[in-house]
Amino acid sequence: MTIAFWALAVIAVAGGISVFMVDSMARATFGLLTSLLAAGGTLLLIDLHYLGMLIILMMVMEMLVMAVFMIMYMMNPAGLMPMKMVHNKRGAAIIAGAVFVLLCAGILLGSWPERKGRPPVDPAHALGLSIMGPKMLVMMVIGVAILATMISTVVLATQRGRYDR
């Protein structure tokens, strides 16, 4: 598990760095997708299956939509033509370095709390209860109602309807 964690951590950081190193929007999109998939895999490693799969599925769909829009609307085909991805490289490097040093100082100098109790049997359920409390069932029903409303709105917004040909 430790080896898998460090492998995913290296992949996530490498994917994040590649976003700023490549010279096209499409390649940057796939670098970002790689980084976020590794982050989702990390959540799967710590038994947060729902959140891990949610991040993985959401990021795959988001990046696919972004790639489709790049192909449709960008002046260079599919964002594959070379372009400068970073502006003000020196200022960005200074800010990134300062933030990195500040975060490392916080990690090393901050006091970390001791673990109290044991991890829950079902972490996804415990997370849902801590976020929504006893209203979790209500929120699930509202989510289905919102989805039905979005589908109905799209169907009603079409001029001819589903069966009119």
List the chain residues with pLDDT less than 50. Answer: none
Q: Where are the domains of the chain?
A: 1-105, 123-165
pLDDT at 84: 66
**Contacts of residue 24, Cβ cutoff 8 Å, sequence gap at least 6:** 76, 79, 80, 81, 82, 83, 85
SS3 assignment, position 160: coil
Other Cβ atoms less than 10 A from the Cβ of 127: the count is 14
Distance CA 85, CA 19 (A): 8
pLDDT digits (tens, 9 = 90+) for 15-44: 999 988 887 777 888 899 999 999 999 999
Q: pTM higher than 0.85, yes or no?
A: no
Cα-based torsion angle of the residue sequence 139, 144, 150, 154 in order, rounded to the nearest 10 degrees: 180
